[in-house]
Amino acid sequence: MKWIKSKSLRLLFVVFFFVTLILPLFNMFAAITTESIQNLLFTPVFGEVILRSVLVTATATLISILLALALSWCVSKTAMPFKNILIPALTLPMLIPSISHGMGLVILFGAKGIVTNLLHTSFNLYGFSGIVIGSVLYTFPIAFLMLMDVFKYEDDALYEAAQVMGVSKLRQFTDLTMVYLKKPLISAFFAVFTMIFTDYGVPLAVGGKYRVLSTYMYREVLGLLNFSNGAVVGIILLLPAILAFIIDFFSQDSQSGSNSIRLKIKASPLRDRCAAGFCILTAVLFNLPIIAFVVLSVVKKYPVDLSLSFDSILQTLQLGAGEYFFNAIVMSLLTALVGTAIAFTVAYFTSRGKQTFTSRCLHLISLVTVAVPGIVLGLGYVTLFSGSILYGTLMILVLVNTIHFFSSPYLMAHNALLKLNPNFEDIAMTLNIPKHRMIRDVLLPSTFSTLLEMFTYYFINGMITISAISFLSTVDNMPLSLMIPVFEGQRLFECAAFVSLIILVSNLILKALTSFVSSKWQKHLN
């Protein structure tokens, strides 16, 4: 009876993913007409848009990965000072929406930008260069965290042996470090490439007349309500994401870092100072947009009147920021609660007990969610749920965010549950302890820190997302992040800057709270 109940729950989740992931995509594909394919694929303009998208994405991805590699090496392989300050400073930009990075560049380097006025010069911001810089600001923290995490599990004993044998530092880097990082670099490259290729926030702010696929789709769907053309573009946006998933899936390293030896890094004053200086310079440059947001939020009217004033803050609140902030908090909290619960439950079925065909299907579907760009998933939801009781409600925003961000929290829970003693279920069965009590009293307390990380991930992404929800939100349930493109389009940069700061501070408070609770929990366990 218990086996039947467990099997039924697995099948229920398979149906859930079929309705919330697979069906929307098939429905989007069904919206494509022969006319839309001919109108788009066989026109020189669309070919140019694709070429521009690939070029700008490849350039920004290469820069982002190289910067992330250099800075993660500095943090992981040197004894530089201020690591505890610099790591959060380098990852701070990931707590604001992608469009905020583009808008920050406009505030700094636009025709009347802060840096432009200070240096009395002009910058060629709009177009290729602006998208590349904004995309690097947006994706660098993700690549940095990915590579820094990989460095944690590298075996330092290999370097010690190489040092004893007289192998030069350059040879150590090329023959040890780069070989070890080969597969992680491939994963990071495709992850960043997909993020930039499918993002429309940065191109919307600084793209100008340089149109890329994501902004083309945004214009077709939201501007012209042409869902058929949008579906064609959506499929093209889906291709690199699927390719990235396949390559990453088959290039997973089976090696475990559990036996790696970590040695204390020897101090080298020149190297450590140079590494610290490089990290400080990068952190300052990458956080310039955030500094600009603070300046714009407290001046009367930049650049006409720089006197201290809270008029912009009051104007933002009068335009409904308080209501939209409430929507964002409620949506993000619900997404975090629902998403964490579903991700943990699915991870339990795929990591504990007997592995069935249904469990393997659930695991594969959970991983596949990462290959679906938010803007594509959002369009799929429009074509499937339009006219239903779910359409236009807060719950559809929660649902699309839960699926959009599902893969990472699922993997957190899956890996955490795999590390626990595999015999817990057998012991519980022997002692006649119900499974729900074993989960409540053993598994949940043992993975509480992971649950907090999952909750934080969902909440932060719910606060900053503008992709999947942009096609689904209404005036009544629109979250705060979607006010940024509205204000940016109206040239109300002061208001948009303040909104970006609200989102940033909200995410920082949530991270601080969950870190505090996690540390208290660890002390309680010890």
For the segment 43-101, what is each residue's pLDDT rounded down to a tens digit?
A: 788 889 899 999 999 999 999 999 999 999 999 888 899 999 999 999 999 999 999 99
Q: Residue 485: is its pLDDT beyond 60?
A: yes
pLDDT of residue 4: 46
Q: Residue 298: is its pLDDT beyond 90?
A: no
How does 160-175 read in b/e, with b if 16+ C-beta sit within 10 Å? eebeeeeeeeeeeeee
Euclidean distance between CA atoms 61 and 56, whole angstroms? 8
pLDDT of residue 185: 87
pLDDT of residue 90: 95
Topology adopted by domain 45-252+262-297: MetI-like fold (1.10.3720)
- The one-character DSSP state at 348 is H
pLDDT of residue 526: 66
The residue with greater pLDDT, 217 or 516, is 516
**340, HSE (Cβ side, Cα atoms, 13 Å):** 23
pLDDT of residue 98: 92
Q: Would you say the CATH fold of 45-252+262-297 matches that of 1-30+316-526?
A: yes
Q: Where are the domains of the chain?
A: 1-30+316-526, 45-252+262-297
pLDDT of residue 251: 63
Euclidean distance between CA atoms 439 and 421, whole angstroms? 13
Task: Supply the CATH classification number for the domain 1-30+316-526.
Answer: 1.10.3720.10
pLDDT of residue 186: 85
pLDDT of residue 39: 75
- The one-character DSSP state at 352 is S
Amino acid at 150: V
pLDDT of residue 3: 45
Average pLDDT over residues 278-299: 93
The residue with greater pLDDT, 9 or 314, is 314
pLDDT of residue 410: 93
Long-range contacts of 25-30 (CB under 8 A, 24+ apart): 25/238, 25/372, 25/376, 25/377, 25/380, 27/380, 27/383, 27/384, 28/231, 28/234, 28/235, 28/376, 28/379, 28/380, 28/383, 28/384, 29/231, 29/235, 30/383
pLDDT of residue 182: 82
pLDDT of residue 265: 76
Q: Residue 253: is its pLDDT beyond 70?
A: no
Which residues, listed in sequence order, are joined to residue 308 by a DSSP beta bridge? 299
Q: Residue 355: is its pLDDT beyond 80?
A: no
Euclidean distance between CA atoms 302 and 306, whole angstroms? 6
* Helix or strand holding residue 180 (H, E): helix 178-198
